[in-house]
Amino acid sequence: MSSSTSSLWTPAASARTASALAGNDTCDVCVIGAGIAGLTTAYLLGREGKRVLVLDAKPEFAAGETEYTTAHLAWYLDDHFSHLVAVRGDAIAKTAASTHRNAIALIGDIVKREQIDCDYHAVSGHLFAAANGTDLLHEEAETLTRLELPFERTKLAFPNEKEVECLRFPDHARFHPIRYVLGLVAAVRQQGGVIYTDTVVEKVRGGRPCEVRTTKEHTVTAGAVVIATNNPFEGGTVLHTKVSAHLTYALAANVPSGSFADGLFWDTAAPYHYVRLQPGGPASDVDTLIVGGEDHKTGQAQDQATRWDRLTAWTRERFPNLGPVRHRWSGQVFETPDGLGLIGLAPWNGPNVFVITGDSGMGLTHGTLGAQLVTDLVANRVNESAAAYSPSRLMPGALLTRLGENLNMAAQYVDWVTGGDVKNPDHIPPGQGAVIRSGLTKLAVYKDDRGAVTKMSAVCPHMGAIVHWNAAESTWDCPCHGSRFSATGTCLHGPSVGDLKNVD
Ligand SMILES: Cc1cc2nc3c(=O)[nH]c(=O)nc-3n(C[C@H](O)[C@H](O)[C@H](O)COP(=O)(O)OP(=O)(O)OC[C@H]3O[C@@H](n4cnc5c(N)ncnc54)[C@H](O)[C@@H]3O)c2cc1C
Ligand code: FES
C-alpha cells in the first residue's frame, strides 16, 4: 500500500492498465470494481452472452485488496461454524460450507477452461490450537460432525517440533491471485467485455434501465449494475450497521524447501494467525512462507509498525529456520456479525442493482460465490443460497455484537472535540503525518522526507469522521467505515469517492 511495504503478488512490470471511460456508454451489465469479485462476475456474465463494462477507480485493475490477499481458498469459515450455527442455525451453516466449496471448485474449473497459469493447487486446510484454544477446537469438531462436514482430528508439527492439536479439512486450495485475475481479464476481453480504469463511480441509480454516474460526469446506462468495490461507496446506515473495517498484516519469507507441509493453517487465537506455503522462492532450495494476523479495527491502533515485528516473532518461534522477511504488507477486511458476505440486491440502490461485500476475511471465495449468485439473480434464476447472503437479512442472534460495533463507530466522532496529535507542524518528523487542531476543525498534516508540508482537512469526505495517521503504511485511515487516503490525501479505498481536501 505504501512505498515501504509491498505485496508478494505485485507484478514487477505492470500488465494491468486500461484506458479511462471517456464518454457516456451503454451495456447489458455494468460491473463496478475490478478485483476478484467484479472480474469473476464480468467473466460469468460474459459467458452467458451479456455485454459487460467493468469500471475501476484505480489506474490499474486488480490493485485493490485482491493484490494484498494471502490467497487461501477455504471453505472452513474463519469465524467458525459454531458461531454461525449459534446466530443463523444449521441450515445456513451447511449452505455456507457448500457455497464456499463450490467457489473453490469453480476457480479450479475456470483455471482449467481458460488455461490460466496461476499455480492453482488443491491442499488441505488446518485449524490448530493456540494456547487455551483446545475448547474451541472441540466445539468445532462437535458442530462439524453434526453438520456432516468432512474433517479429521490430527496433530500438527511445526519445524520447532512442538506438536499441537489440529482439525484437518479436505478440498481447500491455493493460487497466485494476480495471475488468476489477469487470466480472468484476458477471458473477459475475449468475450467482448470492456474494462476501464481511472474511472471513479460516485452514484448508482437503480431502475429499468439503471444509471451509473462517474466523478467525471460520464454516465453508463445498463440493464443491471453490480457493485463489487469491496466496500460500497453508497449504502449509508443500512450497510454500515452490518460491516466493520479491520486492518490485517502479512509477511512473506523463505524457509528451506520441503521443511513444512503445503497447506493452509489457521490458529484458534483472536485475532487469529494464518499461514500457508507457496512452494518455490527466489532460489531452488527455498519455499515461501506467508503468514498473516495482528488484525485491528481500521484507524483504531497506534502501533501499526510493531504489528509486523510481533508477527515475525510469532513465526520465528515456530519456524526457527525462517529467512529474512522479503515482503510485508497490510490491507483491509470487512467483517459482518455472522461472518457471511452481503451479496444480492443492494437494498439502498433500487431495482436491478446488486452488491458483493462483507468479505469477512474470506473475500476470494466470497467474491467468487458472490459472482455466481449475482449472475443467477441478473438472469432471474433461482439460487438457493440467496437468503443466506441477502444484504437485507436480519441477524437477531448477532444484534449484541452489532450494537457494540455501532457504539464503537459513534465513539469515533468524539475526535471532533479532542485535541490534535501535536500542536504544530514543527513537531512532525520528516516522512510522518499528524492531526492538528485548527479552531473548530482538524487538519491532517503530512511532512515529506525533505520537510515540505501538505495540509489537508482531517475530515473524511465520506461521513465526516476524523482520519488517523497510519505510520506503518503512511496513509490516513478513517476509523468509522474504512476509507483510506495516501499521505497527500488521494483516496485509496472507499467508501469515500473523494480525496482529503487540501487547505493550503
Ligand atoms: C492481508 C490480507 C489477507 C487476506 N487473505 C485472504 C485469504 O487468504 N483468503 C481469502 O479468501 N481472502 C483473503 N483476504 C480478503 C480478500 O483478499 C479480499 O476480500 C478480496 O480480494 C476482495 O476482492 P474484491 O474484488 O471484493 O475487492 P478488491 O480487490 O478490493 O476490488 C475492488 C475494486 O473496486 C475498485 N473501486 C472501489 N471504489 C470504487 C469506485 N467508487 N468506483 C470504481 N471502482 C472502485 C477498487 O479500485 C478495486 O480495484 C485477505 C485480505 C488481506 C488484506
Ligand atoms: S469512511 Fe465513513 S466517515 Fe470516513
All three cell numbers of 220, joined, read 453508463
Same domain? 328 vs 446: no
Same domain? 325 vs 343: no
Same domain? 251 vs 398: no
Same domain? 343 vs 381: yes
- CA of 272, nearest ligand number: 1
Residue 194 CB neighbours (<10 A): 17
The closest-lying atom of ligand 1 relative to the alpha carbon of residue 357 is: 26
Maximum alpha-carbon separation in the chain: 63
- pLDDT at position 133 is 83
Find the CATH number of the domain harbouring 273. 3.30.9.10
Q: Looking at the domain assignment, is residue 385 inside a domain? A: yes
CA distance 27 to 486: 33
Q: Which amino acid is at 361?
A: G
Find the CATH number of the domain harbouring 453. 2.102.10.10
Same domain? 258 vs 324: yes
Q: Pick from 367, 362, 395, 400: which is nearest to 79 by CA?
A: 362
- What is the residue-level pLDDT of the chain in tens, covering all 504 positions? 544 689 999 987 677 989 999 999 999 999 999 999 999 999 999 999 999 999 999 999 999 999 999 999 999 999 999 999 999 999 999 999 999 999 999 999 999 999 999 999 999 999 999 988 899 999 999 999 999 999 999 999 999 878 999 999 999 999 999 999 999 999 999 999 999 999 999 999 999 999 999 999 999 999 999 999 999 999 887 788 889 999 999 999 999 998 899 999 999 999 999 999 998 878 889 999 999 999 999 988 888 889 999 999 999 999 999 999 999 999 999 999 999 999 999 999 999 999 999 999 999 999 999 999 999 999 999 999 999 999 999 866 555 555 566 666 666 666 666 777 888 899 999 999 999 998 888 999 999 999 999 999 999 999 999 999 999 999 999 999 999 999 999 999 999 999 999 997
Same domain? 133 vs 247: yes
The closest-lying atom of ligand 1 relative to the alpha carbon of residue 64 is: 30
Q: Looking at the domain assignment, is residue 84 inside a domain? A: no
Nearest CA to ligand 1 atom 50: 69
State which of 176, 243, 289, 364 you would mutate to test the pocket of ligand 1, scoring each by most atoms of that ligand within 8 A of its C-beta: 364
Contact 57, 158 (CB under 8 A): no
Q: What are phi and psi of 292, to 5 degrees?
A: -135, 165
First to last CA, the chain: 25
Q: Looking at the domain assignment, is residue 395 inside a domain? A: yes
Taking the centre of ligand 1 as the mean of its atom positions, its distance from the CA of residue 341, in whole angstroms, is 13
Q: Looking at the domain assignment, is residue 440 inside a domain? A: yes
All three cell numbers of 13, joined, read 512490470
- pLDDT at position 2 is 45
Q: How many domains does the chain have?
A: 3
Q: Looking at the domain assignment, is residue 316 inside a domain? A: yes
- pLDDT at position 79 is 95
Q: Looking at the domain assignment, is residue 222 inside a domain? A: yes
The closest-lying atom of ligand 2 relative to the alpha carbon of residue 412 is: 3
From 297, 314, 335, the end of a domain falls on: 335
- pLDDT at position 238 is 79
Taking the centre of ligand 1 as the mean of its atom positions, its distance from the CA of residue 42, in whole angstroms, is 16
- CA of 308, nearest ligand number: 1
State which of 300, 435, 483 you would mutate to test the pocket of ligand 2, scoring each by most atoms of that ligand within 8 A of its C-beta: 483
Burial of 426 (C-beta count, 10 Å sphere; 0-12/13-18/19+): exposed
Q: Looking at the domain assignment, is residue 317 inside a domain? A: yes
E strand spans, 231-345:
244-256, 264-267, 274-278, 286-297, 325-335, 342-345
From 335, 365, 380, the end of a domain falls on: 335
CA distance 106 to 192: 21
Q: Looking at the domain assignment, is residue 460 inside a domain? A: yes
- CA of 107, nearest ligand number: 1
Taking the centre of ligand 2 as the mean of its atom positions, its distance from the CA of residue 412, in whole angstroms, is 10
Domain region containing 150? 119-175+243-335
CA distance 113 to 205: 35
Find the CATH number of the domain harbouring 186. 3.50.50.60
CA distance 92 to 339: 11
Taking the centre of ligand 1 as the mean of its atom positions, its distance from the CA of residue 359, in whole angstroms, is 8
Same domain? 479 vs 351: no
- Residue keyed to cell 510481533: 310
From 317, 335, 353, the end of a domain falls on: 335
Same domain? 140 vs 170: yes
Partners of 230 in the β-ladder: 357
Q: Which residues line ligand 2 (CB under 6 A)?
A: 460, 462-465, 478, 480-483, 495-496
- pLDDT at position 236 is 80
